[in-house]
Structure 1
């Protein structure tokens, strides 16, 4: 958390009164955290103590989304289950000039649904434009790239499975009517 916020050990030590060596040992797991150490750290990082120590969630049903910014895009996690299928809302910002696709590969399988905007999906030799309401799924070991088709912002929902399991929708059971 400290590194992610760009704060040095010296800054934290000065603000909290905890020595740099104690902070370093806490971060590396060589020292057990006590309440006297955790309270000033929770204050400086402006997070609840439960979040700082990774306490299990309580009965609060609210979802506290923490956006992740990567590759010039914003990913908002919609699921918290480690491993298995992960759900994200993905936001691709508007760009004044079209971006040149840089296809990448990685393990897994991806399913996406365009909510707003026009998505450009480059997949192997295909160059597709998906308007709102369209969906796609693909093996992420194939070279792929996602961006705006027209320079406008794009909003989509993405399901990603790092183990490569395809998303599937089951047909609802329809009763047979005599006729």
Structure 2
């Protein structure tokens, strides 16, 4: 199956939004970095403005990604994912999917740390599911402060203030699935009861289908 130019361009907006949110940037902060107005950035992300080379070049520089990654142009007859790792704040994030606008998969590696800094919680649109591969992951979700061990999972609305980090300053590795606009990963640790509706769901996925 081939992908048309229109399909590629339609994927630019969600990709721009994901890059900005992953970097913890507001539209105003990105506007300062690129010289592109907030209204133009907002229209690019929503699909209301057609991306041009003049706009994409400063955005690629601001996000420190190659232009082809920013556009997400398909690679002909190659099913492999050629994600480029991004490292920031002691964490390396490896993209595991090529699906701008839909569910996206990432592998996270948190390096050993000696910092006692307080978690900086952030929010954005979307829904996220986490699965710990190794180490102990501290997950702060609003008023909840949790520690997930290898084999445990959690899912939550990313409009809830959240933060991830090593629970014991040792290296930690986990997978995440992220869906924009409230799109959910249809995997749960256990059925949700009425009493759990307002709380993040956490459970052990080891050995489950």
Q: Report the secondary structure of 1:81's partner residue.
A: coil
CA distance in structure 2 between the partners assigned to 1:56 and 1:154 by the alignment: 32
Instruction: Tell me what 1:160 maps to.
Output: 178
Q: Deviations over 1:75-112 (max 9, x none)?
A: 11101111011110011111023442111111111100
CA distance in structure 1 between the partners assigned to 2:73 and 2:181 by the alignment: 27
CA distance in structure 1 between the partners assigned to 2:74 and 2:186 by the alignment: 31
Instruction: Tell me what 1:132 maps to.
Output: 150
Q: Please, what TM-score do these two structures have when normalized by structure 1?
A: 0.62
Instruction: Tell me what 2:115 maps to.
Output: 97
CA distance in structure 1 between the partners assigned to 2:93 and 2:108 by the alignment: 5
Note the aligned Cα RMSD (angstroms). Answer: 2.7
CA distance in structure 2 between the partners assigned to 1:162 and 1:99 by the alignment: 29
Instruction: Tell me what 2:164 maps to.
Output: 146
- Return the offset for 1:130: 0.4
Q: Please, what TM-score do these two structures have when normalized by structure 2?
A: 0.54
Instruction: Tell me what 1:14 maps to.
Output: none
In structure 1, the gaps of 5 or more residues are 1-25, 30-46, 171-179
Of Structure 1 and Structure 2, the greater helix share is in 2
In structure 2, the gaps of 5 or more residues are 1-51, 56-65, 189-209
Instruction: Tell me what 2:77 maps to.
Output: 59
Q: Is the 8 A contact 2:81 2:97 kept in 1?
A: no
Match of 1:82 among 100, 124, 130: 100
CA distance in structure 1 between the partners assigned to 2:74 and 2:53 by the alignment: 20
